[in-house]
Each structure stands twice: as structure tokens, then as C-alpha cells.
Amino acid sequence: MTPALETRALVKRFGGLVVTNDVSLSIRPGARHALIGPNGAGKTTIINLLTGALTPSSGRILIGGEDITEASPFARVKKGMARTFQINQLFDDLTPLESMVLAVGERLGHGTRFWRSLASDSQAAAEAADILERFRLADVMCLPTRGLPYGKQRLLEIALAIALKPKVLLLDEPAAGVPEEDRHEVLAIVRDLPSDVTVVLIEHDMDLVFSFADRISVLAAGRLFAEGSVAEISRDPEVKAIYLGDAA
């Protein structure tokens, strides 16, 4: 089966510093794949390479078998890639509804509509309201985003990515910074993501990784250090040494 997302010998250098060193990943469609590693292992760099924020020094990136190494970030989105950010990247003075109509409208190709009002796009509005409902944001959808509690903003962060109906979803520490009482809400949403979406989770929180992932890749110092099922990785003494030991 063609992998949903694949990297071949991905390398990124900054000057003399190699931050991503020969990383080859192959993630099957529908997988719940976690990417873990200690601080400075190069997780964020990989996300940036995958989404096109950075260009790799060498190596290829493929989505559904199609080479997207040279594609611009927005072209990758059109190919089915979506991401959330570790630090919320929201439109502070728009309402969640507007942000969501924007995201849905872009996917439907309505974004270049020049003359028809937003409200006339009932398809986008309906779908946006639907997703907001699903993400428990319907109550606050008409309030400015900047005033929302952090947990709600975090949900919107994920909802915006889901609104794109991605094939591959990159979640960058989805629960980071969420207060304890709102945490279960975020985790439930992450757990209930549609099963046909391939999810790559970058996470620090081991409980979340072990409860969510079916496969884990361990990064250390820019290299792919180990890869395997949750059981294999949690038993691997070397992983424990570099990662768990380090985190403890």
C-alpha cells in the first residue's frame, strides 16, 4: 500500500549544523503515528520541512506517493496536508465562525470570490457551524477569538486544521499549555479524529502518546533512533535511556 506520508533520506543543515540527519519515515494511511524525542531532537524542524516552512538540504517528501518536496506550503495544503501549531496561530480579531468559514471556504475554492457576500455561502457556513458544534465551540463562535479561554483556542486550532479535510494531519503538541480541567476535552477530540485521517502526533506527554499512538518513531539528535509499535518502544531499553531517562 502507498504510504500516506513518506520522507526519503531527509537532511536539513543550518550552516555546519545538521538538525535533521537522514530521516526516512513511512506512515501508512489511517495511522496514528507519534514522533517523540527529547528537546532539541529536531521534531519541530521535521514538521517545518513537512509543511514547507523550510526547504530540505536533500531528500524527498511524498504525500500519497506524490513528490511535494518543492511545493509551496499552500500547495501542500491543497494536496491534503494540514497542521496545528505548538503555539496557537489564530486570527485574534476574527470570530471562530469567521475563521472556520474562511478555512472551509478555501477548501471549497470559494476564497477568491470577490463579489458574493460571506453570508451567501450557505454551504461553507453550514459546514463551519457543523465543525464548531463538533468541537464544542458553537457557544462561543460569534465572539472574538482573542477573548476565548486557552482551552477553547486550542480546540479551534485543531478544528481549523480538520476543516481542511486533510489526508495527513500533523498535530504539534496539541495539549501543550492547556489547563488541567480542559485537557480531557482536547484529548477526547484528538482521540475522536476521523479514522481515515492519517495523524502524525508530535508530543512530549508520554501518557498521551501511549494512549493514542499505534506506532512511534523516536528522534534523537536529528536522527531516527528507533521505530516500532507502542509495546516495542516502551520496552526498548535504549529508548528509555535516551528519552525516558532524560525526561525523568
As a whole number of angstroms, the distance between CA 218 and CA 233 comes to 8
Q: Contact residues for another protein (CB under 8 A)?
A: 14-15, 51, 53, 72-75, 77-78, 82-83, 85, 89-95, 97-99, 101-103, 105-107, 110-119, 121-122, 124-126, 128-130, 132-133, 138-143, 160-161, 164
As a whole number of angstroms, the distance between CA 171 and CA 33 comes to 10
The CB-of-244 to another protein minimum distance in angstroms stands at 30
> CA dist 6 to 23, 41, 64, 138, 168, Å?
10, 19, 8, 36, 11
Q: Among residues 39 and 114, whose Cβ is nearest to another protein?
A: 114
Q: Among residues 74 and 150, whose Cβ is nearest to another protein?
A: 74
The CB-of-131 to another protein minimum distance in angstroms stands at 10
The CB-of-13 to another protein minimum distance in angstroms stands at 10
Strand, coil or helix: 19: strand
Q: Among residues 92 and 238, whose Cβ is nearest to another protein?
A: 92
Q: Among residues 98 and 227, whose Cβ is nearest to another protein?
A: 98
> CA dist 65 to 11, 54, 74, 80, 133, Å?
19, 20, 18, 12, 34
The CB-of-122 to another protein minimum distance in angstroms stands at 6
The CB-of-58 to another protein minimum distance in angstroms stands at 17
* CA-only gyration radius of the chain, Å: 18
Q: Among residues 155 and 164, whose Cβ is nearest to another protein?
A: 164
Q: Among residues 112 and 195, whose Cβ is nearest to another protein?
A: 112
For residue 153, which of 129, 179, 128 has the smallest C-alpha distance? Answer: 179
The type of residue at 145 is: T
The CB-of-153 to another protein minimum distance in angstroms stands at 12
- Name the strand (E) or helix (H) holding 225: strand 223-229
* Residue in the structure block whose three cell numbers are 489547563: 179
